[in-house]
Amino acid sequence: MEKIDIKSLTLEELTQHIVGLGEPKFRAKQIYEWLHQKHAFSFSEMTNISAKFQQRLESVFYIDSLKMIKKLVSQIDNTVKYLYELRDGEFVECVLMEYRHGTSICISSQVGCKMGCTFCASTIAGFVRNLTPSEMLDQIYCSALDSGRKISSVVMMGIGEPLDNYDNVLRFLELVSDENGMNLSLRHLSLSTCGLVERICDLAEKRLGLTLSVSLHAPNDTVRSKTMPVSRRYSMNELLKACRFYAEETHRRISFEYALIRGVNDSKRDAEELASRLRGMLCHVNLIPVNPVEEAGYQAAAREDVFRFQNLLLSMGINTTVRRTLGADIHAACGQLRRNSQNVKR
Ligand code: SAH
């Protein structure tokens, strides 16, 4: 029989398994704490479990863990980027960032990505597979252990489209916020999506309290279709309708990501059209100077053009921030490290 990935089980599911193995319920909570609070790598570390039952556990479950392959520390701002190897030899990356309010981690949700955004390094080599809940958690656990930093917020903005791995992501959200585990308030978690409309609505109905970031990158379908193939599946009208629904259901402000690409989406007209479409919505716009990816051939908008775009939006009543660039010296943008490791392998 195939062994079960124990770290991907919710406490309720683990309890069912443990009771099924003839042990009392509280045993499940002990094991859960070993996995999610004390970060045990093996059953033999679980000192309040008998050696006999440890062996039984070993025969039914496995404890997944990531192997650190590379760690880059920015000399500029202490950003740390990790490349981890998964059980099957695939790679994922995540980034630790220091902010005034604490340490934030940006995690991946898939190996590769199907979405095909033309400016994004994560999607160039295509999609390999979804990450399991434990692989998402372990990016947090392993990075916290290695760095000795306490992680106070999580952003799902690394490799992959989280809403394309919906079931595992929901389970991850349950695990990461469990009071017997990491106990992260979902108020301190942001999930970024390129805009899978049905899933945004499903998530809205769950009212989990997390922040939804939507990668918009354009003021209309024509501009959006140049860089984001997903715009052929969902029009911007449909997407913005789902975003309004999300904001109304959850009372949470949507964060629209907008990477400024010179000559593609950075004109005055683009700003005006964007403002007119977003007016009245509980939202804000986060401008990002696009991170040039070799294969795409795009140029980042100049710093002053980013601020010009910001000021235009602000003058039209749209709350707009410019994302700080962190880890510029270590290729901290998503997908770049895994991409580089693939180039090295070839
Ligand atoms: N699939 C999700 C999350 C992963 S990407 C999504 O699309 O939102 C995280 C964010 O980085 C997205 O806003 C994405 O559009 C943006 N991004 C990707 N490549 C980028 C680049 N080269 N420069 C700037 N932002 C980029």
pLDDT, tens digit only, all 346 positions of the chain? 899 999 999 999 999 999 999 999 999 999 999 999 999 999 999 999 999 999 999 999 999 999 999 999 999 888 999 999 999 999 999 999 998 889 999 999 999 999 999 999 888 889 999 999 999 999 999 999 999 999 999 999 999 999 999 999 999 999 999 999 999 999 999 999 999 999 999 999 999 999 999 999 999 999 999 999 999 999 999 999 999 999 999 999 999 999 999 999 999 999 999 999 999 999 999 999 888 776 677 888 888 999 999 999 999 999 999 987 777 777 766 566 666 665 544 3
Pocket mutation for ligand 1, best pick of 92, 107, 117 (most atoms within 8 Å of C-beta): 117
**Does residue 120 line the site of ligand 1, with CB under 6 A?**
yes
Amino acid residing at 164? D
**Does residue 92 line the site of ligand 1, with CB under 6 A?**
no
**Does residue 155 line the site of ligand 1, with CB under 6 A?**
no
Pocket mutation for ligand 1, best pick of 124, 139, 215, 261 (most atoms within 8 Å of C-beta): 215
Which tokens in the block code for residue 167?
A: 């079931």
Q: How far is the CA of 290 from the centre of ligand 1 (A)?
A: 9
- DSSP per-residue string spanning 94-110: EEEEEETTEEEEE---E
**Does residue 193 line the site of ligand 1, with CB under 6 A?**
yes
**Does residue 257 line the site of ligand 1, with CB under 6 A?**
yes
Report the distance separating Cα 241 and Cα 246, nearest Å: 9
- Residue 286, classed as helix, strand or coil, is strand
Q: How far is the CA of 148 from the centre of ligand 1 (A)?
A: 28
Report the distance separating Cα 266 and Cα 17, nearest Å: 55
In 3D, which of 173, 184, 186 has the Cα closest to residue 136?
Answer: 173
Residues assigned a catalytic role: 93, 334
Q: Pick the residue whose CA is nearest to atom 13 on ligand 1.
A: 215
Amino acid residing at 256? F
**Does residue 66 line the site of ligand 1, with CB under 6 A?**
no
Q: How far is the CA of 217 from the centre of ligand 1 (A)?
A: 9
Mark 250-282 as b/e (b = at least 16 C-beta within 10 Å).
bebebbbbbbbbeebbbeeebbeebbebbeebe
Atom of ligand 1 nearest to the CA of 213: 8
The dihedral built from the CA positions of residue 182, 186, 192 and 194, taken in this order, carries a sign that is positive
